[in-house]
Amino acid sequence: MTIGSLEKVTGARALIKGLEEEDVTTMFGYPGAALLHIYDELYDSNLRHVLVRHEQAAVHAADGYARVTGKTGVCMATSGPGATNLVTGIATAYMDSIPIVALTGQVPHSIIGNDSFQEADITGITLPITKHRYLVPEAKDLPRIVKEAFHIASTGRQGPVLIDMPKDVINGEFECNSIETVKLQGYKPTYRGNAQQIKKAAEEIANSCMPIIYAGGGVISSNASAELAELAETLMAPVTTTLMGISSIPAEHPLNLGMLGMHGSKYANYSVQGSDLIIAIGARFDDRVTGKLQSFAPNAKIIHIDIDPAEISKNVPAHIPIVGDAKIVLKSLIKHVKQCNSETWLEKINEWKREYPLTYEQGKSIKPQFVIEQISEACSNAIIVTEVGQHQMWAAQFFKYKEPRTFITSGGLGTMGYGFPAAIGAKVGRPDKTVINIAGDGSFQMNSRELATAVQNDIPVVSVILNNGYLGMVRQWQELFYDRRYSHTCIKGSVDFVKLAEAYGALGLRVEKPSEVRPAIKEAIASGRPSVIDITIECEENVSPMVPAGAAINEFIGPEGNK
Amino acid sequence: MKKYTLAVLVENKSGVLAKVAGLFSKRGYNIDSLAVGVTEDPEISRMTIVVQGDDQVLEQVIKQFNKIIDVIKVSDIEEDDTVERELALIKVTADMTTRAEIIQIANIFRARIVDVARNSITVEVTGDESKIQAIEKLLRQFGIKEMARTGKIALVRGPKKV
């Protein structure tokens, strides 16, 4: 569908048509005065609009939708407070390179800068947390800007783009020509890796007998999971993933070591530290991954594959940088490599695996790890979304992910309150999948009002609250580093989650014994309704293993220490 | 710490300068000077930026610049043979006894006297940084009331374009 030649349209109409042209079928938003014309157009349009209860949820939902579908997520908020409520979600998407287009209303051009009612300089505010942003000058620019915004958000290193639309732009009429193709002089992402560099990488790989692949979120966003597995199997090299890279390779793949870094498995961290070659793919050497930079993988040469040249040698110097899309680069790299002489190395890693497994002891009280395992066994094909905190790490460690785009979490910004609205977006994007939001009692309260959104729009997301009565991860740090002085981290008895769920018209279930966990999960899923399962877990359980901030990633603390 | 001169071509749009400046402040890099103006193409502006740091800082600055959608091209022209100019307006305290000497200094530097009052003279000087520093140093003995500098602009010599 194209906009007809010289048809007279309003900015609002042009926006809706532009969204339809970009194959947008769903958006998340909250109306306001500045957006009235757009909402009036939506009334007659085929676009699905999910009305949230707070704009922050709109942007997280668009983000969750984007992560599970691979499409660009769209959210909309009115001017001023509506727009500023998007900021946390935009920053979340920016840190994790998630393609979203955020639409905001703005006061008319004639009163911009006058501190007008519901005015905020949202393009200024989001300058450091968007890939690009527009303050639309005139209605006639809107079709071009919509096209550019979707192009920028979804290509190269993906990310959020904001379009701020003054009311006179939204309401203004213009004669609309068909939209030309996107022309951006300064924007030309590199997709193909340099052939010479790929050959050099292959030579380096041939010389390695202790290689490790370190895969990040870039593998998932470029849909390179099959190539990742093929490379690992061809080389017989183990794979460790970042938090964002989880689900890029099946949890049960024999070469998968799970997550590395602060809460990575010991065997993953020992393998990284002991390796002679790291093949980093779509990962950015975040501080939660590397620990103390000077001690990171001291004997390893580094091949760094990334679509964003600015990531290369930002934190860790790369010996062989390859700028390009993970899928395309891996495809050509695979042609040049063969099996490494890694037998002894893999045997050593298996020894570490046997010696330091991820475990816990289930007693009378419910252990959070047990809950995650129960969910994993009950519905292994589910999409898991998380909030941020201890439960997030347990979900990263103990769920057996099978396919990409099934683990949705705020990795970079670590946004509490992300999970539930993102789960709503995920379920809208993949209605065929069971979507489970694994939450802590702290995080869930940050956006629990979205139960109303789930119920009103009939979006059956299951929230499993691992309720320990604490802001668990902060409490863990207070236990370990502040002599158990639990300053303002106890939130016991703050709300009855079952009654809360029922108040919103959702299903609420309480679980207090290990034997009740599995039936409750099954009941919630079978109900087909938005559900909340409040599970009382061991209140001072810690995430283990743990590397303290600033230490090398093979320096663990905790009860078993650094064996 | 070294100084680097960058030539940056950007789309002539609002908000681009803020993004460029934000990039420096976000990462704690120090801008020595930043001069911006439109080019022969009215849709394109040229920024000349002098930044301090080491090679790694320079590399990051260039890479981060390239990430900005409105940035068309970034070149490090520090090693190139360039024509460089700064403009300074210097208002010097002057009375009957010192006026002649100030004018003499200005002449030596091929600077121009652009304003004269009973107690002051304003001198316009263009040149590279060392020339402006030199005249500033000489005029300082009379007392500088106010000074404005543009920051450096630079073009690579010969037919090469950046």
CATH classification at residue B126: 3.30.70.1150
Asked if residue B160 is part of any domain, the answer here is no
Predicted confidence at residue A230, as pLDDT, reads: 98
Chain A residues with CB under 8 Å of B66 CB are 186, 309-310
Asked if residue A318 is part of any domain, the answer here is yes
Predicted confidence at residue B22, as pLDDT, reads: 87
Q: How far apart are the first and last CA of chain B?
A: 25
pLDDT tens, N- to C-terminus, chain A (563 residues): 444 456 799 999 999 999 999 999 999 999 999 999 999 999 999 999 999 999 999 999 999 999 999 999 999 999 999 999 999 999 999 999 999 999 999 999 999 999 999 999 999 999 999 999 999 999 999 999 999 999 999 999 999 999 999 999 999 999 987 777 888 988 999 999 999 999 999 999 999 999 999 999 999 999 999 999 999 999 999 999 999 999 999 999 999 999 999 999 999 999 999 999 999 999 999 999 999 999 999 999 999 999 999 999 999 999 999 999 999 999 999 999 999 999 999 999 999 999 999 999 888 899 999 999 999 999 999 999 999 999 999 999 999 999 999 999 999 999 999 999 999 999 999 999 999 999 999 999 999 999 999 999 999 999 999 999 999 999 999 999 999 999 999 999 889 999 999 999 999 999 999 999 999 999 999 999 999 999 999 999 999 999 999 999 999 997 655 44
- Rounded CA separation A424/A504 (Å): 15
Residues A288 and A397 in one domain: no
CATH classification at residue B44: 3.30.70.260
Query: CB of B162 within 8 A of CB of B77?
Result: yes
Residues B114 and B69 in one domain: no
Nearest to A176 by CA among A16, A42, A329, A364: A16
Q: List beta partners, residue B83.
A: B155
Domain boundary among B19, B43, B77: B77
* Between residues B26 and B125, the one the model is more confident about: B125
- Rounded CA separation A280/A422 (Å): 28
Residues A258 and A226 in one domain: yes
Chain A residues with CB under 8 Å of B22 CB are 127-128
Predicted confidence at residue B24, as pLDDT, reads: 86
Residues A313 and A405 in one domain: no
Asked if residue A316 is part of any domain, the answer here is yes
In tens, the pLDDT along B56-114 reads 889 999 999 999 999 999 999 989 999 999 999 999 999 999 999 999 999 999 999 99
Asked if residue B60 is part of any domain, the answer here is yes
Residues A290 and A404 in one domain: no
Nearest to B77 by CA among B159, B158, B155: B155
Residues A244 and A295 in one domain: yes
Chain B: nearest CA to A159, how far in angstroms? 12
Residues B65 and B105 in one domain: no
Asked if residue A184 is part of any domain, the answer here is no
Chain A: nearest CA to B57, how far in angstroms? 9
Residues B11, A314: C-beta atoms closer than 8 Å: no
Q: Is A55 a catalytic residue?
A: yes
Burial classification of residue A32, based on how many CB atoms lie within 10 Å of its CB (0-12 exposed, 13-18 middle, 19 or more buried): buried
Please pick, among A17, A22, A41, A55, the residue that the annotation labels catalytic.
Answer: A55
Nearest to A328 by CA among A226, A187, A204, A207: A226
Q: How many domains are there within chain A?
A: 3
Please pick, among A95, A262, A473, A546, the residue that the annotation labels catalytic.
Answer: A473
Domain boundary among B45, B77, B109: B77
Asked if residue B136 is part of any domain, the answer here is yes
Residues A127, B60: C-beta atoms closer than 8 Å: no
- For A186, which residue in chain B has the nearest alpha carbon? B72
Structure tokens at A532: 């909340």
- Rounded CA separation A244/A231 (Å): 19
Q: Is A407 a catalytic residue?
A: no
Is the bond preceding residue A545 a cis peptide, omega within 30 degrees? yes
Chain B: nearest CA to A157, how far in angstroms? 10
Region B47-64 average pLDDT: 91
Specify the amino acid at residue A208: S
Residues A252 and A298 in one domain: yes
Asked if residue A219 is part of any domain, the answer here is yes
Specify the amino acid at residue A294: Q
Q: Pick from A123, A152, A157: which is nearest to B15 by CB?
A: A123
Q: Is A188 a catalytic residue?
A: no
Q: How many domains are there within chain B?
A: 2
Domain boundary among B77, B104, B139: B77
Structure tokens at A555: 């320096």
Residues B67 and B7 in one domain: yes
Chain A residues with CB under 8 Å of B63 CB are 309-310, 312, 314
Nearest to A418 by CA among A73, A19, A50, A91: A91
Domain boundary among A334, A355, A376: A355
Residues B21 and B70 in one domain: yes
Residues B71 and B89 in one domain: no
- Rounded CA separation A159/A133 (Å): 11
Residues B67, A185: C-beta atoms closer than 8 Å: no
Query: CB of B6 within 8 A of CB of B156?
Result: no
Q: How many CB atoms lie within 10 A of CB A43?
A: 8
Chain A: nearest CA to B101, how far in angstroms? 49
Residues A333 and A372 in one domain: no
- Rounded CA separation A238/A340 (Å): 11
**Residues spanned by the domain of B17:** 2-77
Chains A–B, number of C-beta pairs less than 8 Å apart: 42
Q: Is A473 a catalytic residue?
A: yes
Q: List beta partners, residue B49.
A: B6, B34
Predicted confidence at residue B162, as pLDDT, reads: 82
Q: How much is the pTM? A: 0.95
Nearest to A425 by CA among A67, A53, A6: A67
**Residues spanned by the domain of A15:** 7-176
Report helix angle A36-44 to A11-21, nearest 10.
50
Q: Is A516 a catalytic residue?
A: no
CATH classification at residue A274: 3.40.50.1220
The dihedral built from the CA positions of residue A58, A60, A61 and A63, taken in this order, carries a sign that is positive
